[in-house]
Amino acid sequence: MNTLTLPSSQPRWLQALTARPALWVSLAAVIGSLLVGLLLVRLLGVPVVDAALAFADGAWGSPYAFAASVNRSLVFALVGIGFVLAQRANLTNVGGEGQIAVGGIAATAVALYGHVQDLPMGLGFVLPMLAAALAGGLWGALAGVLKAKAGTNEVIATLLLSFIAVWMVYGSVQSEALLRQPMTHSNTLPESLEVPEATRLPLLTGDYSMPLHLGLPIGLVLAVVVALVLNKTVLGLHLRAVGLNPVAARRAGIAVGSTVVGALFAAGVFGGLAGACMLQGEQYSLKAGFSSGFGFDGLVVGLLARGSVTGVIAGSLLFGFLRSGGINMEMVAGVPTALVVVIQGLIIVVLAGAALAMDRHKETER
């Protein structure tokens, strides 16, 4: 019906463009920001080719670099999927950082002190993961309960909860009564012990030359599940209904309050899982600053995706590889990694500003 109403004089490419404005605007924002990044590289006096080569080498130049980029993308994607899930119910979950943090705490605690490493059938790494998911979920649900009961803006609540959780990690590795490793010698850092071998996420290739771990297939399966839930189930429809019109949803018998809490719980579960992947898949021990701002990167990925799981995957790959390449750019070409941060900031700001234009188009589409 829509295509019929389009004036036929419009060229093909313009039709294609107007049909998916969000996609094109997002792409334009990303490409524009990358161009600004290149411009900055020039201004910094670094030959663009050198920088680009260093970038490519760091992002996908070797099996290891590739795997490291993918692992990072995995974390962003998990947080992003959680974000998109909650967003379906019109909830903005900016608490990914905190959910990663509590997930990390829970995974560490269970892996180290939960007597799980001798359990059969991979339970050794499954249980800490589940604990992380649960902890992240509860952390998210807390914001949901505040929203449902007291009408607290979930953005403010999840943000504050993030700060609290980040300092909880700091606190928990400061004290031996909590998760700090026993002080055996003078340089014993405020970190937890390394989690036992059996509680780590098994490597897919078996060695570290390409350290993809089991979190990746788990994440992919979950991504498919979430995409299914969002688009093909009653639950997904309920989420959408609550997000689009809570009053009508309530009238139609949907429990709006529990949906809100549930959505933020689910978002938190993904944050917690991201924490588990970071801890059990890569870092192996909990340290202050463990979450490394990945929760905020995941948030950006979620925002970029505009509600689609495919979008999350694309965005997380973009940022995962961007960051990996950025690190190498600094080592090889001397371009500060802060450049990547600038690019990220630009992308968010441009997309936020373009939202009205994109949504307006959507409205007329209906």
Alpha carbon distance 35, 40 (integer Å):
9
| 51/161 with CB nearer another protein | 161
Residue listed under structure tokens 């009238």: 251
The CB-of-309 to another protein minimum distance in angstroms stands at 16
Q: Which residues pair with 213 in a beta bridge?
A: 203
Distances (CA, A) of 312 to 13, 68, 240, 263, 342: 25, 18, 18, 17, 20
Binders of another protein in range 279-338 (CB under 8 A): 282-285, 287, 289-294, 296, 299-300, 303, 323-324, 327-328, 330-332, 336-338
Residues 2-41 that bind another protein (CB under 8 A): 40
Contact between 121 and another protein by CB under 8 A: the answer reads no
Q: Tell me whether residue 130 or residue 161 sits nearer to another protein (CB atom).
A: 161
Structure token pair of residue 185: 């010698």
Look at residue 203 and give its three-state secondary structure: strand
Supply the minimum distance, in Å, between the C-beta of residue 278 and another protein.
6
For another protein, the closer of residues 19 and 123 by Cβ is 19
Which of 15/209 has CB closer to another protein? 209
Instruction: Work out how close the CB of 120 gets to another protein at its nearest, in angstroms, rounded to a whole number.
Output: 27
Angle of helix 21-43 relative to helix 48-60, nearest 10 degrees? 120
Location of structure tokens 């992003």: 80
Q: 309 CB contacts (<8 Å, ≥6 apart)?
A: 81, 84, 223, 226, 227, 230
Minimal distance, residue 9 CB to another protein, in Å: 23
User: Minimum CB separation from another protein for residue 27, in Å?
Assistant: 18
User: What residues have CB less than 8 Å from 245, skipping those under 6 apart?
Assistant: none
Q: Of residues 95, 128, 219, 236, which one binds another protein by CB under 8 A?
A: 236
- Which range, of 17-25, 67-75, 133-141, 196-204, touches another protein by CB under 8 A? 67-75
- Give DSSP secondary structure letters for 329-362: IIIII---THHHHHHHHHHHHHHHHHHHHHHHHH
Nearer CB in complex with another protein: 12/251: 251
Number of residues that bind another protein (CB under 8 A): 106
* Segment 175 to 234, residues that bind another protein, using CB under 8 A: 175, 183, 185-191, 194, 207-209, 228, 232-234
DSSP 253: T
Q: Is 65 in the site for another protein (CB under 8 A)?
A: yes
Residue 250 vs 361, nearer CB to another protein = 250
Q: Which of 53, 66, 92, 119 binds another protein (CB under 8 A)?
A: 92
Quote the CA–CA distance of 86 and 77 in Å, as a whole number.
14
Q: Residue from 23, 56, 203, 342 that binds another protein (CB under 8 A)?
A: 342
State yes or no: residue 132 binds another protein (CB under 8 A).
Answer: no
Length of the chain: 366
Is 248 a residue that touches another protein (CB under 8 A)? Answer: yes
The answer to whether the CB of 312 falls within 8 A of the CB of 306 is: no
> What are the tokens at 109?
């605690």
